[in-house]
Amino acid sequence: MTPVSTAERELGLTHQGSRNLIKTAEAKGWLHSLGTHGRGGREHWYAPEVLAIMEAPMMYDAAP
């Protein structure tokens, strides 16, 4: 889960810049909103493709 404040801090962007980046990624389908949570109603997002990879069973290469 990623709130705007994390993107802001990690990427060195302004609050509005971080929000624009997240909204653009959401529009492209890269991120999905989990809705608002906690004090202040902070919105959180997740990357469904990354989550799918993390939840997939481990696969090993069958090369000899």
Per-residue pLDDT of the chain (64 residues; tens, 9 = 90+): 677 888 889 989 998 999 899 899 999 999 998 888 777 778 888 898 888 888 888 776 666 6
Q: What is the pLDDT of residue 42?
A: 80
CB 46 within 8 A of CB 31: yes
Amino acid 1: pLDDT:
65
What pLDDT is stored for residue 43 in this prediction? 84
Provide the angle, in degrees to the nearest 10, between the axes of the packed helices 15-27 and 4-11.
Answer: 110
- Whole-number CA gyration radius for the chain: 15
Global pTM exceeds 0.85:
no
Give the pLDDT of residue 61.
67
